[in-house]
Structure 1
């Protein structure tokens, strides 16, 4: 069933509580296309490959987590940015992008969906804008069991830093590039912290704090949110929604 672009944008804005967040990019329609939307393609990132796949699939809108116009990036529309935007405009394809609101949503957010895959629910929040999550496993798991769950869910072997032979009861997590949250998480009485990426300091902090750190991939840990939001919109508006998987090892 077709839906008007503005109606869809307004609904998502309210559903994700977009106005609550101080973000590094605009959330909502970033590139305007046709007014009526019947088919949505979802993807983690609005890469040129994802745009071409969305066009081939006959989508009216591309819905992503990582869009364009990031704070601090060059404003000129040249080279790769020109190619991406030109492809969207030529196809009259809408680009919807939601960053922090899609990380944080309690039902379809990246953190919520990753928690479901790991078998844990957020009980408290921490970090910038309460994006970090803390929860307890109903039944304790080993590091190996958690790593196996992540590998099964994401299709990639997580990097394990710090103690690898312990039982895990209380865990912190935040998807994507949230390794900086490990500093605060390490003070919050947890056994393990999970994110997408790792940095040099993480090795030392994990060893010295005795808290295991798992890096399961930025792209891999943030596939869940946009897919869950797409499924929600499909049910809410009776839209045709497809997910596009553009492999990314990072």
Structure 2
């Protein structure tokens, strides 16, 4: 006859097992947590923003399962199941085509599009996007997040603790999606590019922080992202759930209360 303590341990193990199963199903089919580690999507997303990625938005691929890698996936999926086409302007989490790392960028180019940067201005199919002055984006020049990186400033050099300023613009894409971009200079290595023709079944991604983003403007051969295959899409970022400017979420005094449950545009 089992003792009361043995029965209690067995019940605890069963409870934990089913809790893990339910959490795994939830994470695989519905939402995946994502923590913003870098400033490539400022000021749409800030270092320390925490969000849930909507995995139902584009259907499911082998990268939809946790712990998937280029050579292995617990999800035996060929292509995408229940596929739905992403829209230009979506903020997308995807698996890097050659690195086993998840990235988050804005979808700029659809299959067949011709994408180019000319003096820092985005051109889509030969037409420059609409730009409007958005004033300035100011942040404190100080180490940011767990990695402790320092932001780039248009008013550099500035001392630690001073205001770090970047010009902000409102960019409107051809389908009407309007969002913020930051652009410190217009003559950097990614401000004048050749024309990129997006292949069928692939997408062109860019960061909103245009001078501080590893994205499709840089080929994979030099460490960039290049074109992103459709099967690498994991989901769409719709809303910031929580945000902390400090090294740890336990630093309550660094919480950004104004960003809790903030819609991502």
Pairwise same-fold verdict (TM > 0.5)? no
TM-score, normalised to structure 2, is 0.24
In proportion to residue count, which structure has more strand? 2
TM-score of the two chains, using structure 1 as the length reference: 0.25
**Bigger radius of gyration:** 2
Bigger helix fraction: 1
